[in-house]
Amino acid sequence: MKHVTLVVPDGEINLNSLAGAYEILTRADDYWQRIGNPPKLKVQIAGFVSELPVHQHYFAIHPGDIRQIKKTDLLIIPSLFGDYEELIRQNSNLIDWISRQYRDGAEIASMCSGAFLLAATGLLDDRLCSTHWNVVSEFHERFPRVRIAADKIITDENGIYTNGGGYSFLNLMLYLVEKIFDRPTAIFCSKIFQIDIERTTQSPFTIFHVQKSHGDDIISRAQQYIEDNIEEKISFEKLAIQLAISRRNFDRRFVKATGNTPVEYLQRVKIEAAKKELEKGRKTVFEVMSDVGYTDDKAFREVFKKITGLSPMDYRHRYSKAG
């Protein structure tokens, strides 16, 4: 029998991710037994705290004592809210416990921003990690050695699983169910809980947040120029000259400040503007393409799909207010 521990950190957590994981795993095991198999899971909810009020004290979790669990096969970290630095500080005992369990052979899964707690163990250094697209910048600043897979719903590397944001933890749970049980059991859970079993990317949900807190005045001016002229064909050679900086130095400082090359940044600004217009539903795809400075339909569609995971037409059908 496989032992699964849903860990309860000290701090504000997403109760839905904890309860949802418990419900899916126990329902999967119930189904497994109904079709003639012996029980396969023992699921416990445990932490160093005996009670944890959540969501403005409307709910409370009463976990078991994690110190009584000497060995687990899989531990799952729920999504977190709030000040991540403070959460890491006040959960040092739990972070040590997670590290020891991994060294003793346990697998680890983190949901959404639970990746902050997992990364604090050092186990994600030089490995792929997914987390909510909205905290990628903060995560990268805190854990620069972790290779962020910002567009992925799930990563799986050396017994460590991570997933993207919000309710995409449901996709992670189906993924784990399939690994623990089998594909038919995962399909059963996908039907019972009505979860799309094939979702692999969070790109369509990503909102591009412009990084301007870097303190580099020259790059801030460059960003502003790009945002004010998205319909124009921008020459970064000329822009660098206008800013009295070499092109090589300009590129280096731009990447350091924003996490994107100038070309990537321009593409993301254009596509974010295009998304907003497509969501309004009042213009054709061709009109939107022209508004953001593209003249080549094929190039626009390729860049749009690369960034969002959808074609412009599919994006409009899915998110248009008119449709």
Angle at 179 between CA 173 and CA 180, to 5 degrees: 85
pLDDT tens readout for residues 132-142:
878 888 888 89
Q: H or E element: which one contains 192?
A: helix 183-192
Residue 201 pLDDT exceeds 60? no
* Other C-beta atoms lying within 10 Å of the C-beta of residue 65: 11
Q: Is the CB of residue 129 less than 8 Å from the CB of residue 21? A: no
Longest dimension (CA), the chain: 74
CATH fold of 2-202: Rossmann fold (3.40.50)
Any idea which architecture 217-319 has in CATH? Orthogonal Bundle (1.10)
Stated length of the chain:
323
DSSP code, position 60: E
> For the chain, which residues make up each domain, given as ranges?
2-202, 217-319
pLDDT tens readout for residues 20-67:
999 999 999 999 999 999 999 999 999 999 999 888 888 889 999 999
pLDDT tens readout for residues 229-238:
888 889 999 9
Which range (134-138, 142-146, 300-304) has the least confidence? 134-138
DSSP code, position 79: P
Strands 41-47 and 64-65: parallel
Residue 273 pLDDT exceeds 70? yes
pTM: 0.66
DSSP code, position 181: S
pLDDT tens readout for residues 105-121:
999 999 999 999 999 99
Confidence of residue 200 (pLDDT cuts 50, 70, 90): low
Q: H or E element: which one contains 108?
A: strand 107-110
Which positions ≥6 away from 181 have C-beta within 8 Å?
A: 28, 32, 40
Angstrom distance (rounded) from CA 88 to CA 77? 13
